[in-house]
Amino acid sequence: MLATIRHPAATAAEAPRLVIAHGLYGSGRNWGVIARRLADRREVVAVDMRNHGESPRFPTQSYPEMAADLAEVIERLGSQPVDLMGHSMGGKAAMQLALTRPDLLRRLIVADIAPVAYAHDQTRNARAMAEIDLSRIATRAEADAALSARIDDPALRAFFLQSLDLKSSPPGWRLNLDVLEAEMPKIVGWPPTDGRFDGPALFLSGQQSDYVRPEHRETITRLFPKARMARIP
Protein backbone atom coordinates (compact mmCIF):
# COMPACT_ATOMS: atom_id res chain seq x y z
CA MET A 1 0.00 0.00 0.00
CA LEU A 2 1.07 3.60 -0.51
CA ALA A 3 2.96 5.31 2.30
CA THR A 4 0.86 7.92 4.09
CA ILE A 5 1.39 10.84 6.45
CA ARG A 6 -1.57 11.33 8.79
CA HIS A 7 -2.42 14.66 10.36
CA PRO A 8 -5.02 14.14 13.12
CA ALA A 9 -7.74 16.74 13.51
CA ALA A 10 -6.76 19.46 15.98
CA THR A 11 -10.28 19.48 17.40
CA ALA A 12 -13.24 17.13 17.22
CA ALA A 13 -13.54 16.23 13.54
CA GLU A 14 -16.30 18.32 11.96
CA ALA A 15 -15.71 17.29 8.35
CA PRO A 16 -14.95 14.07 6.49
CA ARG A 17 -11.34 12.97 6.15
CA LEU A 18 -9.32 14.75 3.44
CA VAL A 19 -6.84 12.75 1.32
CA ILE A 20 -4.16 14.63 -0.64
CA ALA A 21 -2.41 13.23 -3.72
CA HIS A 22 0.73 15.13 -4.77
CA GLY A 23 2.10 15.81 -8.24
CA LEU A 24 4.96 14.44 -10.33
CA TYR A 25 8.38 14.39 -8.57
CA GLY A 26 6.72 15.36 -5.29
CA SER A 27 5.70 13.60 -2.09
CA GLY A 28 3.24 13.86 0.75
CA ARG A 29 5.86 15.83 2.68
CA ASN A 30 5.50 18.72 0.20
CA TRP A 31 1.99 19.29 1.55
CA GLY A 32 2.95 19.32 5.24
CA VAL A 33 2.26 23.00 6.00
CA ILE A 34 -1.05 23.01 4.11
CA ALA A 35 -2.12 19.64 5.54
CA ARG A 36 -1.50 20.79 9.11
CA ARG A 37 -3.52 23.94 8.47
CA LEU A 38 -6.40 21.97 6.96
CA ALA A 39 -6.33 19.57 9.93
CA ASP A 40 -7.90 22.23 12.15
CA ARG A 41 -11.22 20.39 12.02
CA ARG A 42 -10.64 17.18 10.08
CA GLU A 43 -8.07 14.45 9.71
CA VAL A 44 -5.83 14.97 6.67
CA VAL A 45 -3.92 12.13 5.02
CA ALA A 46 -1.18 12.94 2.52
CA VAL A 47 -0.01 10.00 0.41
CA ASP A 48 3.22 9.26 -1.40
CA MET A 49 2.19 8.17 -4.88
CA ARG A 50 3.75 5.01 -6.34
CA ASN A 51 7.43 5.43 -7.29
CA HIS A 52 7.61 8.56 -5.11
CA GLY A 53 8.68 9.18 -1.53
CA GLU A 54 8.45 6.17 0.76
CA SER A 55 5.89 4.28 -1.32
CA PRO A 56 6.67 0.99 -3.11
CA ARG A 57 8.44 0.95 -6.45
CA PHE A 58 6.52 -0.42 -9.42
CA PRO A 59 7.49 -0.93 -13.08
CA THR A 60 4.56 1.16 -14.37
CA GLN A 61 2.87 4.51 -13.67
CA SER A 62 -0.58 4.56 -15.31
CA TYR A 63 -3.60 6.47 -14.05
CA PRO A 64 -5.81 3.39 -13.60
CA GLU A 65 -3.03 1.97 -11.38
CA MET A 66 -2.62 5.21 -9.44
CA ALA A 67 -6.38 5.44 -8.95
CA ALA A 68 -6.41 1.85 -7.67
CA ASP A 69 -3.61 2.76 -5.24
CA LEU A 70 -5.68 5.65 -3.88
CA ALA A 71 -8.77 3.43 -3.62
CA GLU A 72 -6.80 0.97 -1.50
CA VAL A 73 -5.67 3.75 0.85
CA ILE A 74 -9.21 5.11 1.22
CA GLU A 75 -10.70 1.66 1.83
CA ARG A 76 -8.05 0.89 4.46
CA LEU A 77 -8.76 4.19 6.21
CA GLY A 78 -12.45 3.36 6.56
CA SER A 79 -15.26 5.88 7.11
CA GLN A 80 -15.89 6.49 3.42
CA PRO A 81 -16.62 8.61 1.55
CA VAL A 82 -13.71 11.06 1.82
CA ASP A 83 -12.86 14.38 0.25
CA LEU A 84 -9.98 13.95 -2.22
CA MET A 85 -7.62 16.65 -3.42
CA GLY A 86 -5.07 16.00 -6.16
CA HIS A 87 -2.44 18.25 -7.69
CA SER A 88 -1.09 17.82 -11.23
CA MET A 89 -0.36 14.08 -11.68
CA GLY A 90 -2.19 13.46 -8.40
CA GLY A 91 -5.10 15.47 -9.76
CA LYS A 92 -5.38 13.20 -12.77
CA ALA A 93 -5.22 10.14 -10.51
CA ALA A 94 -7.93 11.69 -8.32
CA MET A 95 -10.14 12.37 -11.35
CA GLN A 96 -9.61 8.81 -12.56
CA LEU A 97 -10.72 7.50 -9.17
CA ALA A 98 -13.75 9.81 -9.08
CA LEU A 99 -14.87 8.55 -12.49
CA THR A 100 -14.36 4.86 -11.74
CA ARG A 101 -15.11 4.63 -7.99
CA PRO A 102 -17.39 7.57 -7.19
CA ASP A 103 -18.68 5.71 -4.15
CA LEU A 104 -15.40 6.41 -2.34
CA LEU A 105 -15.59 10.21 -2.66
CA ARG A 106 -17.79 12.94 -1.28
CA ARG A 107 -16.05 15.88 -2.91
CA LEU A 108 -13.22 16.28 -5.40
CA ILE A 109 -10.66 19.10 -5.57
CA VAL A 110 -8.37 19.19 -8.62
CA ALA A 111 -5.40 21.57 -8.54
CA ASP A 112 -3.98 22.93 -11.80
CA ILE A 113 -4.71 20.08 -14.21
CA ALA A 114 -7.47 18.97 -16.58
CA PRO A 115 -8.63 15.52 -17.78
CA VAL A 116 -6.78 15.85 -21.07
CA ALA A 117 -3.47 14.82 -22.62
CA TYR A 118 -0.74 17.45 -22.67
CA ALA A 119 2.05 17.95 -25.18
CA HIS A 120 4.74 19.00 -22.71
CA ASP A 121 7.43 16.54 -21.63
CA GLN A 122 9.01 16.20 -18.19
CA THR A 123 11.58 13.54 -19.04
CA ARG A 124 14.46 16.03 -19.11
CA ASN A 125 13.95 16.73 -15.41
CA ALA A 126 14.07 13.04 -14.53
CA ARG A 127 17.20 12.71 -16.63
CA ALA A 128 18.79 15.76 -15.01
CA MET A 129 18.35 14.30 -11.54
CA ALA A 130 19.49 10.83 -12.59
CA GLU A 131 22.69 12.15 -14.18
CA ILE A 132 24.05 13.69 -10.98
CA ASP A 133 26.81 11.63 -9.37
CA LEU A 134 25.37 11.49 -5.86
CA SER A 135 28.42 9.65 -4.52
CA ARG A 136 30.20 13.03 -4.70
CA ILE A 137 27.40 14.93 -2.96
CA ALA A 138 27.52 15.62 0.78
CA THR A 139 25.31 18.70 1.19
CA ARG A 140 22.15 20.12 -0.30
CA ALA A 141 24.14 23.12 -1.55
CA GLU A 142 26.44 20.78 -3.50
CA ALA A 143 23.43 19.00 -4.95
CA ASP A 144 21.88 22.31 -5.95
CA ALA A 145 25.12 23.39 -7.65
CA ALA A 146 25.30 20.11 -9.58
CA LEU A 147 21.66 20.35 -10.60
CA SER A 148 22.03 24.00 -11.67
CA ALA A 149 24.16 22.88 -14.62
CA ARG A 150 21.06 21.11 -15.97
CA ILE A 151 18.12 23.10 -14.55
CA ASP A 152 18.19 26.91 -14.52
CA ASP A 153 15.13 27.59 -12.35
CA PRO A 154 16.18 27.76 -8.65
CA ALA A 155 12.60 27.24 -7.45
CA LEU A 156 12.29 24.09 -9.53
CA ARG A 157 15.63 22.81 -8.21
CA ALA A 158 14.52 23.48 -4.64
CA PHE A 159 11.35 21.47 -5.27
CA PHE A 160 13.27 18.52 -6.70
CA LEU A 161 15.82 18.59 -3.87
CA GLN A 162 13.04 17.96 -1.36
CA SER A 163 13.13 14.39 -2.71
CA LEU A 164 16.88 13.94 -2.19
CA ASP A 165 17.80 11.72 0.76
CA LEU A 166 21.21 12.87 1.98
CA LYS A 167 21.11 10.58 5.02
CA SER A 168 21.31 7.38 3.00
CA SER A 169 24.71 6.03 2.01
CA PRO A 170 25.24 6.94 -0.75
CA PRO A 171 22.62 9.71 -1.03
CA GLY A 172 19.68 8.83 -3.26
CA TRP A 173 16.50 10.16 -4.76
CA ARG A 174 13.17 9.22 -3.19
CA LEU A 175 11.96 8.85 -6.76
CA ASN A 176 12.00 5.93 -9.18
CA LEU A 177 13.47 8.11 -11.92
CA ASP A 178 13.96 5.38 -14.52
CA VAL A 179 10.31 4.34 -14.42
CA LEU A 180 9.01 7.91 -14.30
CA GLU A 181 11.03 8.76 -17.40
CA ALA A 182 9.92 5.63 -19.24
CA GLU A 183 6.26 6.13 -18.29
CA MET A 184 6.15 9.85 -19.08
CA PRO A 185 3.78 9.44 -22.06
CA LYS A 186 1.21 7.95 -19.66
CA ILE A 187 1.83 10.64 -17.03
CA VAL A 188 1.31 13.59 -19.39
CA GLY A 189 -1.47 11.72 -21.18
CA TRP A 190 -5.01 10.83 -20.17
CA PRO A 191 -6.54 7.37 -20.66
CA PRO A 192 -9.91 6.83 -22.34
CA THR A 193 -12.27 6.63 -19.37
CA ASP A 194 -15.98 5.95 -19.18
CA GLY A 195 -17.79 7.35 -16.20
CA ARG A 196 -19.07 10.50 -14.58
CA PHE A 197 -18.69 12.00 -11.13
CA ASP A 198 -21.89 13.68 -10.00
CA GLY A 199 -20.54 14.98 -6.69
CA PRO A 200 -19.18 18.48 -6.08
CA ALA A 201 -15.88 19.11 -7.89
CA LEU A 202 -13.68 22.19 -7.59
CA PHE A 203 -11.03 22.87 -10.24
CA LEU A 204 -8.38 25.31 -9.04
CA SER A 205 -5.64 26.88 -11.12
CA GLY A 206 -3.03 29.56 -10.70
CA GLN A 207 -3.68 32.85 -12.44
CA GLN A 208 -0.53 32.54 -14.54
CA SER A 209 -0.94 28.81 -15.24
CA ASP A 210 -2.14 27.54 -18.61
CA TYR A 211 -2.85 23.96 -17.56
CA VAL A 212 -6.62 24.50 -17.25
CA ARG A 213 -7.68 26.35 -20.38
CA PRO A 214 -11.06 27.59 -21.63
CA GLU A 215 -11.13 24.82 -24.24
CA HIS A 216 -10.94 22.23 -21.45
CA ARG A 217 -14.18 23.35 -19.82
CA GLU A 218 -16.45 21.28 -22.05
CA THR A 219 -14.56 18.08 -21.22
CA ILE A 220 -14.48 18.93 -17.51
CA THR A 221 -18.20 19.64 -17.26
CA ARG A 222 -19.09 16.53 -19.27
CA LEU A 223 -17.21 14.30 -16.83
CA PHE A 224 -17.90 16.40 -13.72
CA PRO A 225 -21.32 18.06 -14.18
CA LYS A 226 -21.14 19.90 -10.85
CA ALA A 227 -17.67 21.28 -11.48
CA ARG A 228 -16.82 24.79 -10.33
CA MET A 229 -13.66 26.52 -11.52
CA ALA A 230 -11.61 29.17 -9.77
CA ARG A 231 -8.28 30.92 -10.33
CA ILE A 232 -5.95 31.84 -7.49
CA PRO A 233 -4.17 35.19 -7.99
pLDDT in tens, 131-187: 999 999 999 999 999 999 999 999 999 999 999 999 988 899 999 999 999 999 999
Report whether 65 contacts 179 (CB < 8 A). Answer: no
Per the DSSP assignment, residues forming a β-bridge with 86 are: 21, 110
Integer Rg of the chain from CA? 18
- Cα–Cα distance for residue pair 199/207, rounded to 1 Å: 25
Closest residue by Cα to residue 27 from 137, 127, 160, 200: 160
pTM of the complete model: 0.95
Check whether 129 has a pLDDT greater than 90: yes
